[in-house]
Amino acid sequence: MKRILPAIVAGVVIGIVEIIPFIKSLSCCILVPAAVYYAMVLEIKGNKKILPFTLGEALRLGVLTGIFGAIFSVFFDSFLTFVLRTNDFVAIFPQMQQFIQEIGLPEQNKKEVLTLLQGMVENIRTTGISVLYSLSMFVSNLFFDILFGLIGAALARKLINKKYFAEA
């Protein structure tokens, strides 16, 4: 548990910060790498790490931070959606409908996509919960948070090893 605690803490930070509307759009390319850096600093301070980070250790922490970030961001987003009965997806649904009508999909496919999306919007508006929406957000967040967690880990490793372990 002690080995994954920094990633859990950084994942909670990602989850909380990702529900803030403007900051949400910066999460993949700025927030997740910054959270990995934070997790690495916590690893040094909390676990008394005295050796420089190897690439493997950094990538492990990047992946774990990405996984926990995805879990907590979907959890907090789902909770807020449940309470408010709306979210960004519901707000942009009219523009999505227009976009789907304008792209060159066959009429049957347009109808199926719109029905699926409309069902998600109705579930959110009536119950505050859409399992399909939450699942799709989790898969999307998991992919991007892990990807940018790996990128952030490689960059943070260089910075941290230079800062904390100048002799290495």
Domain range annotation of the chain: 5-85+137-164, 86-127
pLDDT single digits (tens) 60-114: 999 999 999 999 999 999 999 999 999 999 999 999 999 999 998 899 999 999 9
- Residue where the block lists tokens 């649904």: 93
Please tell me the distance from the alpha carbon of residue 8 to that of residue 94, in angstroms, as a whole number: 36
- What the block records as the tokens of 129 is 């919960």
Through-space distance between the first and last CA atoms of the chain, rounded to whole angstroms: 28
- Residue where the block lists tokens 């090893």: 161
Lowest mean pLDDT among 48-57, 69-78, 117-126, 135-144: 48-57
pLDDT single digits (tens) 13-39: 999 998 887 788 777 789 999 999 999
The separation between CA 87 and the C-alpha centre of its own chain, rounded to angstroms, equals 16
Region label for 154, one of left (φ > 0), alpha (ψ between -120 and 50) or beta (otherwise): alpha
